[in-house]
Amino acid sequence: MRETKFIEQNKEKWADFEQMLRENRHDPDKLNNLFVQITDDLSYARTFYPNRSVRMYLNSLAQRIFHRVYRGKRFPVERLRLFWTDELPQLMWETRKALLLSFSIFVLAFAIGVLSSIINPDFARTILGDSYVDMTLENIQKGDPMAVYKQSGPFGMTVGIAANNLFVALRTAIFGVLASLGTVFIMLYNGIMVGAFQYFFIEQGVFWPSFLSIWIHGTLEISAIIIAGAAGLVAGSGLLFPGTYRRSQAFQISMRRGLKIFVGVAPIIVLAAVFEGFFTRFTETPDFIRAAFIATSLFFVLWYFVWLPWHKARTGGFRQAIHDKELPPDKAQIIDFNVIKNAGEILADTFTVVFRHPKMTLGVLSGTTAVFMLWAFGWTDETIAQTFLYPEKPLGVLGGASGFFENNTAPFLYFLQIGLLAVLCVAAFRALELEMDTTQRPRFSRSRVFLSALPLALIMPLFVVFIRADNGLLAWLLGMAAYPFLGMWAAVIYFEDLNPITALIRCFRLVRWSAVVLGLMTINLMLLFFLFLDTPVWEMTMQLFSWLVPSGGDAMAIFHTVFTTAMAGILLYLFFLMIVLGGALQYFSCREIRDATHLRKGIDQVALTRQIRGLARE
């Protein structure tokens, strides 16, 4: 384009940038984006207007931005300090309604737990378990109601409690992906449990000793769960209220905010575990000291998470509203098959493909699950309630899912699963083809489609070994390395049209250590989703819809088995689909590392394209 048109199109942007520099605004992220845009304009000006004043102007502006960015570069320690002193309080202020809603849900659930215990004296046994109730009753008779906190060493107890509570908080935040419903159910369960737990001690006449012991750590612990609930509500808000963003983009933004809140509350959870492991056991400490300890913990939570955000907002302590970057509402994420990507980028692209082509992926997930259930329940000689049993160990529902591959009541189930995995494999590769240019798509071949599904047949026995192994750690490590490799092997067969043996050799040459990281992320994500089916939240969900089930007989057991099997089947097939998609995307990345196909093609094009000085190529 002509120089005048180039200046006309960009002068307002340049003026805004100069204004920002004159006002000396300290926003490193915006300065970074500014530097990228200015250097792009400068590169264009150097190419087409090398001897014009616009090039000198942009060069001067780029220098000013460069010095501003790197002169003001903060060390990680400083950035960490700003997160705790500025960003997290600001985030808590902007999500204060979610925090209030989380607190309200917990209080409501607490009241339900207390009222249920009043109405039904055995309600505490239902929630807490017979063994815990009997042990506590025995401790009360011995005159030490809180003896349970003295049975383990302080260090081991602290580590175990911290790991468990961090997982509970993470699950509370992560389950916001279910449009916040998962978070709500977890908050309801935790609130009911705490209410029943506290009323149990009131009923036994030891409220004050229990209160002074439990809430030494419980003040921080329950506060952290409530804040994690707010994180889950924030994470799911993008799906419910996308605003001007596309729903997928709004979800990315809200999920980032939710995870930031979880990171902010994680030290509180660890500190609560330290209190529980080292301090709660000292029940002989004077009441005044323990009450002061509880009051101090409560004061800290209210000061940092409630008063400080309000105070900074009222006094103008926040620099500006939090702006979510790099997610403009009109910019679609493009799957680039010619660049090198890390495991996190590959996993993100995997979910992008799944949600961008729902008919090809989510539709096939539903279809394969339906075929599997019709086959399994239709051929069985047992009752539906006895077809799939989900034992408590190993891995609960995941352990019971071994019957998805070797169920004596449904003949040829293993071979049916091979066929269903082949369908998933083809659907995954077809979805990837839709993301490619027509010149990149492989030639259709029935033999290639059939052979590419063969590596997936190895996944099933490996999966059965994984969920039934006595050594869970060894099976986990094996699957972490093997699953991505098998997915890549299938991709090499499909996209390079090689026979399985040649493709296997090629796969060994391409594979990188990043495959292990991808396997780690995929397997842990699968376990996280499956653990949801083993939580009381899923049981509460089943009970919530129990009014749809006719009374009498095995109706409720059948209802529970069918819906649990359906959810477990969808999660299993989603896991297989992610293995195939992740393996294929990893194949393209590793191919670029080894063969540099795109780089070589770009080098071959150097100096072959004709240009007209002063005009841009259209």
User: pLDDT (tens digit, 9 = 90+) per residue, 306-319?
Assistant: 999 999 888 887 76
Is there a domain that residue 128 lies in? yes
Is there a domain that residue 210 lies in? yes
Cβ neighbors of 13 (< 8 A, separation 6 or more) are 37
> Residue range 367-395: average pLDDT?
74
Does the pLDDT of residue 17 top 70, yes or no?
yes
Per-residue pLDDT tens digits for 95-125: 999 999 999 999 999 999 999 989 988 888 8
How would you write 378-392 as a 3-class SS string?
A: HHCCCCHHHHCCCCC
Q: Where are the alpha helices (DSSP H) in 241-361?
A: 247-278, 287-302, 308-314, 343-356
Does the pLDDT of residue 246 top 80, yes or no?
no
Last residue of a domain, one of 314, 330, 362: 314
> Binning pLDDT at 50, 70 and 90, where does residue 296 land?
very high
Is there a domain that residue 382 lies in? yes
Does the pLDDT of residue 75 top 50, yes or no?
no
Contact of 448 with 493, CB cutoff 8 Å: yes
Nearest to 488 by CA among 522, 464, 465: 522
DSSP conformational letter for 421: H
> Binning pLDDT at 50, 70 and 90, where does residue 1 land?
low
Q: Where are the alpha helices (DSSP H) in 279-319?
A: 287-302, 308-314
Same domain, 427 and 488: yes
Per-residue pLDDT at 616: 41
Is there a domain that residue 320 lies in? no
Which of 466-470, 544-548, 586-590 is predicted most confidently?
586-590
Contact of 514 with 586, CB cutoff 8 Å: yes
Does the pLDDT of residue 331 top 50, yes or no?
no
Does the pLDDT of residue 22 top 90, yes or no?
no
Token duo for residue 382 = 């047992």
Same domain, 358 and 464: yes
Same domain, 141 and 46: no
- What is the signed CA dihedral for 369, 374, 375, 379, rounded to 10 degrees? 150
Range of the domain at 20: 3-76
Is there a domain that residue 67 lies in? yes
Same domain, 449 and 598: yes
Q: Which residue has the higher pLDDT, 212 or 34?
A: 212
Same domain, 71 and 112: no
Per-residue pLDDT at 394: 45
Q: How far apart are CA 518 and CA 579, in angstroms?
A: 9
Cβ neighbors of 304 (< 8 A, separation 6 or more) are 89
Same domain, 504 and 565: yes
Cβ neighbors of 98 (< 8 A, separation 6 or more) are 230, 233, 234, 237
Q: How far apart are CA 252 and CA 241, in angstroms?
A: 12
Total domains, the chain: 3
Per-residue pLDDT at 104: 95
pLDDT > 70: percent of the chain? 76
> Binning pLDDT at 50, 70 and 90, where does residue 12 land?
confident
Q: How far apart are CA 233 and CA 180, in angstroms?
A: 5
Same domain, 287 and 400: no
Q: 539 by DSSP, 3-state: which?
A: helix
Same domain, 299 and 424: no
Cβ neighbors of 278 (< 8 A, separation 6 or more) are 154, 158
Same domain, 70 and 157: no
Contact of 558 with 518, CB cutoff 8 Å: no
Is there a domain that residue 323 lies in? no
For tokens 């301090």, the residue is: 279
Same domain, 371 and 517: yes
Same domain, 476 and 349: yes
Per-residue pLDDT at 256: 82
> Residue range 429-433: average pLDDT?
86
> Residue range 228-257: average pLDDT?
82
Does the pLDDT of residue 65 top 60, yes or no?
yes
Last residue of a domain, one of 297, 314, 331: 314
Q: Which residue has the higher pLDDT, 221 or 560?
A: 221
Is there a domain that residue 521 lies in? yes
For tokens 């489609």, the residue is: 449
Per-residue pLDDT at 612: 43
Per-residue pLDDT at 219: 93
Same domain, 243 and 303: yes
Is there a domain that residue 165 lies in? yes
Token duo for residue 350 = 């995997």
Q: Which amino acid is at 301?
A: V
Q: How far apart are CA 298 and CA 223, in angstroms?
A: 9
Contact of 298 with 219, CB cutoff 8 Å: yes
Which of 111-115, 284-288, 333-337 is predicted most confidently?
111-115
Does the pLDDT of residue 93 top 70, yes or no?
yes
Q: Which residue has the higher pLDDT, 328 or 265?
A: 265
Q: How far apart are CA 376 and CA 384, in angstroms?
A: 9
Q: Which residue has the higher pLDDT, 166 or 178?
A: 166
Does the pLDDT of residue 55 top 80, yes or no?
no
Contact of 166 with 270, CB cutoff 8 Å: yes
Rg of the chain in Å (alpha carbons): 29
